[in-house]
Amino acid sequence: MSNRKAALLTIIVVATISWAVSIIRMKGMDMGIATDLGSFGSFMTTWIIMTSAMMLPGATSAVLRFANSSDSVFKIFLFIGTYLIMWSLLGFAIYIFYRPHGSFYAGVIVIVAGIYELIPQKKIFRKCCFQNIRSGFRFGLYCIGSCIGLMLIQVGLGLMSLKWMLVIAVLALIQKLLPVRDSIDTPIALIIVGFGMLIIITPPAIWEPPHPKWLFIECSPQCKVFNYQYSPPASPEYNPPNTSGFVKTNVLYHRSPDSIKRVLFWPVVGT
């Protein structure tokens, strides 16, 4: 098998598996702007799989250019691996600084993302992605510089959202395949800025899809019931116990995926 075929096959297999695992793993984890990242290990596992699915297809051209001049398949694997390591470092930074936030901050983040799409440095990074780069670390740096604005949109609106994951992946792929064109890129950036403004001035119910309501039971000696406003990280089938005597409140409460075994969830109908 030639180096080009090995490189292409690796990207197809890894990206396909990563998308499949992301769909399974992230199901029910989208809590929109209130998303909690959970434990470090859980988040980083999800992040690595997610970025492999989103960013490997767009790196195909660069990997194939590297494969043309590479004398071994191992170096190709090393190029891909170091490229993904750079994205993992970004995930580490996000985990440190990220906090659940309100719609105002979500709108601000999206506006900043749109403005970044307009600055010259963004175009420089994007053009660098089309060069013959011999280092996966260096290509990863250029790719992050090119896509950081788009990734901010997902951070602001739903870091564990499959919907935004798909939208950002498609936009990133288009930018990796097409050269810089102000006639296309500028309107897209302005749309992103306008969307951010819309988020700030409108209620979340207009721009954020409704989440199913869930009844939350904390398994403790003194059980409490909450009217849960967002989907939980997982929703195993349980038969609800007798809830007579409990008081429903409007408190927003959620648990990280690693503590899901200590709680029970089930849908609340008609609330």
The predicted structure's pLDDT at residue 205: 54
pLDDT by residue, tens only, the chain of 271 residues: 688 888 999 999 999 999 999 998 887 777 778 787 888 998 999 999 999 999 999 999 999 999 988 888 899 999 999 999 999 999 999 999 998 888 889 999 999 999 999 999 999 999 998 888 889 999 999 999 999 999 999 999 988 889 899 999 999 999 998 888 888 899 999 999 999 999 998 866 555 655 444 444 443 333 343 333 333 433 333 334 444 433 333 333 333 333 333 333 333 333 3
Backbone angles phi, psi at 60, to 5 degrees: -55, -50
The predicted structure's pLDDT at residue 1: 66
The predicted structure's pLDDT at residue 255: 37
The C-alpha atoms of residue 91 and residue 108 are separated, in whole angstroms, by: 20
The predicted structure's pLDDT at residue 158: 87
Q: Which residue has the tokens 């690796």?
A: 10
In 3D, which of 58, 94, 61, 76 has the Cα closest to residue 1?
A: 76
Q: Which pairs with CB-CB distance under 8 Å and at least 24 residues apart come from 70-79?
A: 70/3, 72/3, 73/3, 73/6, 76/3, 76/6, 76/7, 76/10, 77/10, 78/136, 79/135, 79/136, 79/139
The predicted structure's pLDDT at residue 60: 93
Residues 6 or more apart from 33 whose CB is under 8 A from it? 100, 101, 102, 103, 105, 106, 156, 157, 158, 204, 208
In 3D, which of 107, 252, 89 has the Cα closest to residue 193?
A: 107
Q: For residue 225, give the 3-state DSSP assignment.
A: strand
